[in-house]
Chain A
């Protein structure tokens, strides 16, 4: 399959069946991935609008557009939607579903019907959680700390059930991917030839399977606490509210890795492809994902340093938290090395990868700061924490998700988006994001507490910068939505391999892919980034100065020549 064949195949997964029913009942992993894309984009849109409302309220001290009650409910809903309905499924359920089986050379995931069921379970869970808006008064943030959460309104009943149900979707997706990676690899695709995206989704799936059941029982107990007063978490009945925090963070710290590990995978693939180079330290990058997945289970208490937990456990949790810096640093260093030794081709997806290096590193370093016991006592519950986790979740996950979306968009839709628009939007996102969240580090370190609808005059300048940044970020994101939608109708037909990538979804399938992915099961004979073994893409195959970085400069497509 050559990079230059610019004609879409007559039959592909998007047009082999056309009815709505064929979409809603599909067991094709690609179609399920696309349905997830629509669903999580809607969740992102709703959560994003809520975020803009929060920032608008904070544009000036005092009441701007809403009172304290409305403000509390707005940021809570923003958080719950973004965490459970958007970030957790964003990369694994959309790109994992679409790309992973093809990268493995498989015709589908191991359990296609279970895959479809996961999607509907996710939808049902999201709808149940949203019912809480109607029932009202859920205003304790996404952490639902007892006993506050069980002492206000009945909305908590729905939101805990919603999270419980969405958890099952996450578990079943993870289970499906683990079995798929173990049992469905194409001949010749050894563990050391897996694309790094597969490795990271695999590590993510392990976390999903091991951690999510605990949020399930936690939500169930909280539900029963509210409904029957079982007194396991409620101190008025003899319960221990700190125990709730243990239960909650046993899931929710690893959940941070459910959010960030897939991002690492996307970035690794982007780094290899757009640097025309093997990802340096492949084995270290691959295994560091697994190491992070396991270490991530031993640090949850760093969220509880001021909760009254024992000092002994605080010290242990703090020490292990530092350890996570090691595998994470291994990845960042290897990505930089990959670019240093390669020939970087600056297309829109790669811009997001570069952005990620900056924003995620800031998020990671401030995370280690927060893991230091003495500093955390000062910074706990301030905007510093808010800025930190937005740098990790948005600067890490969302930026990588945008990079991955731009990278796989031609494969998913068969259309190219406008590259210039892509670059402008990327710049807007980068500027807007940093302007939104960097001032929050400063005001947090100066004592601005999180979750308040009002603030002292000395914080006004930071809040105003932050609000302006959020509008720029919003414009950038809407612009992306716009040109991607336009590309569906007016976009240039995508060549089979527009980026000159070496993983199976680009080299062995049509664009868009065949309904069954491959006509013949591929036999894999080289690693995922072995450019020196791929003379068919770049005539001379060499890398370094003066190498061909754009596949089209080698094989110009006939229609454009």
Chain B
């Protein structure tokens, strides 16, 4: 790889004419990646809609088994993390590196809370025998619901298949995001970012907001209605 010519910023790759062109290209690439993520999730949303249209009463009964309070807290936590990312980008645009690092750390904290609550939800369900699909074998009492009443409802296991697959893939995206944010925090400490160059933060921010948007739809669909 050829070294950047004299007088050019270190981050500028030789096959680009200008920093602006490089930034625009990176951003457009990220948006394209985001729509592939949207279409990936769309398969799950289609499956959800088809089965909900077929069996609305089953889905309403099943969503009673999810704790809307935990889901609601997680919604607020994720919205908060989206805010800190957006605010962090605003800080580095204004040259405030410390502000950036604080906001990135807050984002990581929110993500960790989110995953912690997810862990509580999942483990509670597993104890009550709520597994996806063919492994669905409800036992005992779950948050005041006698699980015996749910054992023979046709298509109830499918709701939980969809629940586990959707939130599972979403949770995986949160974990990936946490990994990337950790890397960004390390780079920020090294002083890699400046008002002239913060592309990785901008792109990771876009990704993180998309993860938030997916949850914005998952929360009412699974927990509320």
Q: A-side interface residues toward B, CB under 8 Å? A: 27, 106-108, 110-112, 114, 171, 175-176, 178-179, 182-184, 209-214, 216-218, 220-221, 224-225, 228-232, 234, 237-240, 243, 246-247, 516, 521
What 0/1 readout, one digit per residue, does chain B (150-166) give for beta carbons within 8 Å of chain A?
A: 00001101100110110
**Cβ A238 vs Cβ B155 within 8 A:** yes
The distance in angstroms between the C-alpha atoms of A110 and B199, with both chains bound, is: 15
Instruction: Chain B residues near A521: list those with CB within 8 A.
Output: 17
Residue among A106, A183, A246 with max Cβ neighbours from chain B (10 Å): A183
CB distance from B180 to the nearest CB of A (A): 15
| B120-165 contacts to A (CB < 8 Å) | 131-135, 154-155, 157-158, 161-162, 164-165
| B34-61 contacts to A (CB < 8 Å) | 35-37, 39-44, 46-47, 50
CB distance from B69 to the nearest CB of A (A): 27
Residue among B32, B41, B154, B162 with max Cβ neighbours from chain A (10 Å): B32
Partner of B28, one of A183, A210, A229: A183
Instruction: Chain B residues near A214: list those with CB within 8 A.
Output: 39-40, 42-43
Instruction: Chain B residues near A112: list those with CB within 8 A.
Output: 15
**Cβ B28 vs Cβ A209 within 8 A:** no
Partner of B25, one of A179, A225, A234: A179
CB-based nearest A residue for B156: A238
Tell me, yes or no, whether B98 is within 8 Å of chain A by CB.
Answer: no
Partner of B43, one of A106, A209, A217: A217
CB distance from A168 to the nearest CB of B (A): 9
The distance in angstroms between the C-alpha atoms of A213 and B32, with both chains bound, is: 12
The distance in angstroms between the C-alpha atoms of A184 and B28, with both chains bound, is: 12
Given A108-B15, A214-B39, A232-B162: A175 and B157 within 8 A (CB)?
Answer: no
Tell me, yes or no, whether B33 is within 8 Å of chain A by CB.
Answer: yes
Tell me, yes or no, whether B29 is within 8 Å of chain A by CB.
Answer: yes
The distance in angstroms between the C-alpha atoms of A128 and B36, with both chains bound, is: 23
Tell me, yes or no, whether B1 is within 8 Å of chain A by CB.
Answer: yes
30 contacts between A and B (CB under 8 A): A106-B15, A108-B15, A110-B25, A111-B25, A175-B32, A178-B28, A179-B29, A182-B25, A184-B15, A209-B35, A210-B39, A213-B39, A216-B40, A217-B42, A217-B43, A220-B169, A221-B165, A224-B132, A228-B131, A230-B134, A230-B161, A231-B134, A231-B158, A232-B161, A237-B134, A238-B155, A243-B47, A246-B46, A516-B2, A521-B17
**Cβ A184 vs Cβ B25 within 8 A:** yes
Instruction: Chain A residues near B46: list those with CB within 8 A.
Output: 246-247
Q: Is the interface of A mostly helix, strand, loop or mixed?
A: helix
Interface pairs A-B: 10 shortest CB-CB: A229-B134, A217-B43, A231-B133, A230-B133, A230-B161, A107-B15, A213-B39, A213-B40, A108-B15, A183-B25
The distance in angstroms between the C-alpha atoms of A232 and B157, with both chains bound, is: 10
CB distance from A39 to the nearest CB of B (A): 23
The distance in angstroms between the C-alpha atoms of A237 and B135, with both chains bound, is: 10
The distance in angstroms between the C-alpha atoms of A215 and B2, with both chains bound, is: 39
Instruction: Chain A residues near B37: list those with CB within 8 A.
Output: 213
Other A-B contacts than A171-B36, A221-B47, 9 sampled, CB-CB below 8 A, are: A179-B28, A184-B25, A213-B39, A214-B40, A217-B40, A231-B158, A232-B165, A234-B134, A238-B155
The distance in angstroms between the C-alpha atoms of A211 and B37, with both chains bound, is: 11
Tell me, yes or no, whether B196 is within 8 Å of chain A by CB.
Answer: no
CB distance from A263 to the nearest CB of B (A): 24
The distance in angstroms between the C-alpha atoms of A184 and B155, with both chains bound, is: 52
**Cβ B36 vs Cβ A213 within 8 A:** yes
Instruction: Chain B residues near A216: list those with CB within 8 A.
Output: 40
Tell me, yes or no, whether B14 is within 8 Å of chain A by CB.
Answer: yes
CB distance from B80 to the nearest CB of A (A): 28
CB distance from B23 to the nearest CB of A (A): 10
The distance in angstroms between the C-alpha atoms of A246 and B46, with both chains bound, is: 10
Given A27-B1, A214-B39, A218-B43: A228 and B133 within 8 A (CB)?
Answer: yes
Given A176-B29, A210-B39, A213-B39: A229 and B158 within 8 A (CB)?
Answer: no
What 0/1 readout, one digit per residue, does chain B (65-107) give for beta carbons within 8 Å of chain A?
A: 0000000000000000000000000000000000000000000
Tell me, yes or no, whether B24 is within 8 Å of chain A by CB.
Answer: yes
Instruction: Chain A residues near B29: list those with CB within 8 A.
Output: 110-111, 114, 175-176, 179
Partner of A228, one of B17, B50, B135: B135
The distance in angstroms between the C-alpha atoms of A119 and B217, with both chains bound, is: 35
**Cβ A239 vs Cβ B158 within 8 A:** yes
Tell me, yes or no, whether B21 is within 8 Å of chain A by CB.
Answer: yes
CB distance from A233 to the nearest CB of B (A): 9
CB-based nearest B residue for A109: B15
Instruction: Chain B residues near A178: list those with CB within 8 A.
Output: 28, 32
CB distance from A310 to the nearest CB of B (A): 12
The distance in angstroms between the C-alpha atoms of A228 and B135, with both chains bound, is: 7
Instruction: Chain A residues near B33: list those with CB within 8 A.
Output: 175
CB distance from B134 to the nearest CB of A (A): 3
